[in-house]
Structure 1
Amino acid sequence: MGRSVIWVMLVLAILWSLTSGDMGLGKLPGAGPRLAEFLGRMIPPDLSVWREVLTGLAETLRIAILGTLFAVILSVGLAVLASETMVPPAIWRPVRALLAVIRSIPLILVAMLMVGAVGLGPLPGILAITFHATGMLAKFYAEAIDNVATAPVAALESAGANRIQQLRWAIWPQMAPVIMRDTVFRFELNLRESLILGIVGAGGIGLYVQTYVRSFQYEKAATVTLAIIVLV
């Protein structure tokens, strides 16, 4: 019964999406020629903006690196508080709920709020990446802690080791490879996400794309686009 209701609701949602409002499907036949015209305006790329491109790429890379670094630092502490094996439920449950809330907030919205708080530039981008990445990394790190083998931990506990010592000598050696893998994955994601932060004024090369397209300088926008493709 439950699955039938879900399927019915899914079908109704699809039908509603297809029939309600004007999706502009009538524009599809002319989309190809318009796209060709737009791309034609970008050829040949204007390479005179290479200095601006390098500056934007460096700023984007700096945002991703620092945002990831600060997120890792925060996530290590939060992961301990979110671990079922390290702290009682009265602590890890609200911490995990907080991390879920952080992950649910779109990065672009966080970036807009940070721009409003500290102004334009790379700083709001770094803060937005840090905030958003912490929600994911802390969850991954907490799961890594919970999934470690318990025998080494029990051996240290029976020898009188405290929680910090157990974390250092029994838990950390097991979770370090997992943390490295998850951190590299999140850095790659942060690098891609930082490319669009410039659209809301949070620094990075995305600002140059927005500026050139809005001013109809498509040849310069093409150069920036090619640089982004090479970076990612």
Structure 2
Amino acid sequence: MAGLESTDAQYRQNPFKRNWLVTGSWLVLAGYLVFSFNAMGLTWDRFIHGLGIADQLMARMFPPNFSRWELLLSGLAESMEIAIIASVVGILLSLFFGLFAARNLMPNWVTVPMRGFIALCRTFHPVIIAILFVKSVGFGALAGILTLIVASIGFIAKLFAEAIEEISLKQVEAIRATGAGFVSLILFSVMPQVFSRFIGFSTYQLDSNLRNSTMVGIVGAGGLGGTLFSAFQRFDYDFVAAILMSIIALIMLGEALSNVVRRIFN
């Protein structure tokens, strides 16, 4: 009878007990959001007023003006060159850095400083890095290429290292048992397990660099961003629309190429 009574008591308990810690966390978050909106002066009236100004801006942007197509194509070509060069160099460097950061293949005295370096590369936004390189090497495409190489290392090397850490060590031990050297170990036991993921990471980074190559030019690091910034300064909004449409076309082209590469290697 005692056992039956304890079972009945368990059934009578509320299965959806309130977790006061979770409830308190949600309340704190809601309070912080309200405080943040008030501190930054975000109001509904300001949003409605902004929509009116945006409507006027869009009216001045259309129809887009492609009369300066030579300047437009020149900026697009430079952006593509920056993105492709930075992607190739950044991905190759990330492959080695990611390998040295993998804790299942390297000792701690190698992985710890390498992971710190990779984290440092992704600490700052590309625009901040671009400003530093513009101050260091001057205006132009070189600053943009160096910026995107650093950004590529910060993102891709981390993913490469994590992918290598998830491999099966049975193949590594089998290759090592044959007396193969370190390079053979990487080529025949590590790379076959992660190659398809490397391709996916690399195509994503190329797509990201295509976008960023049009942005870093705003601070003088080459590419179409400088042309866009100049058009905004001249209030040449119909040409701004042409530039934005060209950027969209460039990103769509990069996406199509990424899909082709994935189908080839998958």
- Band the TM-score falls in, shorter-chain normalisation: over 0.9
What letter corresponds to residue 186 of structure 1 in structure 2?
Answer: Q
Runs of 4+ in structure 1 displaced over 6 angstroms? none
Q: Per the alignment, do residues 5 and 67 of structure 1 end up closer, same or farther by CA in structure 2, a change over 3 Å counting?
A: farther
- Give the alignment of 1:168-207 within 5 angstroms: 168-207=187-226
**SS class of match (1:63):** helix
Task: Give the deviation of 1:4 after TM superposition.
Answer: 5.8
Across the aligned residues of Structure 1 and Structure 2, the Cα RMSD in angstroms comes to 1.8
2:158 maps to 1:136: no
Q: Deviations over 1:40-88 (max 9, x none)?
A: 2123322211011111111111111111111112112111210112111
What letter corresponds to residue 114 of structure 1 in structure 2?
Answer: F
- How many Å separate the matches in 1 of 2:34 and 2:48? 23
- How many Å separate the matches in 2 of 1:58 and 1:120? 17
Q: Per the alignment, do residues 132 and 5 of structure 1 end up closer, same or farther by CA in structure 2, a change over 3 Å counting?
A: farther
| Alignment match, 1:51 | 70
Q: Is the 8 A contact 1:68 1:129 kept in 2?
A: yes
2:171 maps to 1:159: no
TM-score under structure 1 normalisation?
0.92
Q: Per the alignment, do residues 5 and 29 of structure 1 end up closer, same or farther by CA in structure 2, a change over 3 Å counting?
A: closer
**SS class of match (2:139):** coil
Task: Give the deviation of 1:15 after TM superposition.
Answer: 2.1
What letter corresponds to residue 151 of structure 1 in structure 2?
Answer: K
- How many Å separate the matches in 2 of 1:160 and 1:3? 55
Q: Deviations over 1:204-224 (max 9, x none)?
A: 111111101111112221211
> Which has the higher Rg, Structure 1 or Structure 2?
2
TM-score under structure 2 normalisation?
0.81
Q: Deviations over 1:90-141 (max 9, x none)?
A: 2212321221222121111101111111111111111000001101111111
**SS class of match (1:104):** coil
- How many Å separate the matches in 2 of 1:150 and 1:22? 55
- How many Å separate the matches in 2 of 1:64 and 1:182? 15
What letter corresponds to residue 138 of structure 2 in structure 1?
Answer: G
Q: Deviations over 1:143-192 (max 9, x none)?
A: 22222222221111112122222111111122221111100011111111
Q: Higher RCO, 1 or 2 (CA under 8 Å, sep at least 6)?
A: 1
**SS class of match (1:86):** coil
Q: Per the alignment, do residues 44 and 4 of structure 1 end up closer, same or farther by CA in structure 2, a change over 3 Å counting?
A: closer
Q: Per the alignment, do residues 30 and 20 of structure 1 end up closer, same or farther by CA in structure 2, a change over 3 Å counting?
A: closer
Identity of aligned residues (%): 28
Equivalent position to 2:134, from 115, 121, 139: 115
Report how many aligned residue pairs link the two structures. Answer: 232
2:103 maps to 1:84: yes
**SS class of match (2:122):** helix
Note the residue ranges of structure 2 that are not aligned, 5 or more in a row.
1-19, 252-266
Task: Give the deviation of 1:6 after TM superposition.
Answer: 4.2
Q: Is the 8 A contact 1:86 1:163 kept in 2?
A: no
